[in-house]
Amino acid sequence: HALREQGSKSLTYTEFAVTKDFKTAFVNHVGLIIVGSMMLNPLTSGLLKKYVFPKVGEGPSMKNMEDRHYLCIFGEGIGINGNRAESIMYFDKDAGCLETSRMLVESGLCLALEEDKVPAKHGGFWPPAAGLGNVLLKRLLETGTSFE
C-alpha cells in the first residue's frame, strides 16, 4: 500500500457503506450474498443474464446519471499525538460511469501534459491518488469535484 510505504507502519485503512437503518443494511447484505451465489452457480447464472441483468444499452439514461447519483468519500486520520485530520471528496454525478470516465481522462492528461509535476518518479504500481497526487486533485477540482 502506497501510504504505508511513505508514512507510518501502523497506518490502518477501513472502508464501509452507510445505510439508513439496520433493516436496509441486512437486506442489502443478504441480497448481495444471494445474487453472488446465483452468479457463481452455472444453473442460475444464465437465468440472471437473461431475465435480471440489463442488456447492453439498457443502462440508466444520461439525465438519470447526471441528476440522481453521487459519491461522497470521507477520510479521517488520527496522528500518534492525537492530532486529527478530516477530508471529504464529493462527486455529484454517477460514480460508476460519468465520474469514473472523467477521472480516467484527467489521470491520462496528468501523465500526458504534466508528467514533470507527477510525484511518483520510480517504478512499481501506484494507485492514481498516490502516483499523481496534487496534480490529479487540481485537475479534478477544476472539472467538478468538491474537496474539503
2 falls in which pLDDT band (50, 70, 90)? very low
In this structure, what DSSP letter does residue 112 have?
H
Predicted pLDDT of residue 7: 55
Instruction: Read off the amino acid at residue 59.
Output: G
Residue 11 has pLDDT above 80, yes or no: no
Q: At residue 34, does pLDDT exceed 90?
A: yes
Specify the pLDDT at position 6: 55
Tens digit of pLDDT for each residue in 58-92? 878 888 888 877 777 778 888 778 888 888 888 88
- Residue 97 has which C-alpha cell? 460511469
146 three-class SS = strand
pLDDT tens across 127-138, in order? Answer: 888 888 889 989
- Does this model's pTM top 0.85? My answer is no
Confidence at residue 1, expressed as pLDDT on a 0 to 100 scale? 42
CA–CA distance, 36 with 49 (Å, rounded to integer):
13
Phi-psi domain of 133 (left: phi exceeds 0; alpha: psi -120 through 50; beta: other): left
Q: Give the pLDDT score at 72.
A: 79
CA 97/CA 52 separation, integer angstroms: 20
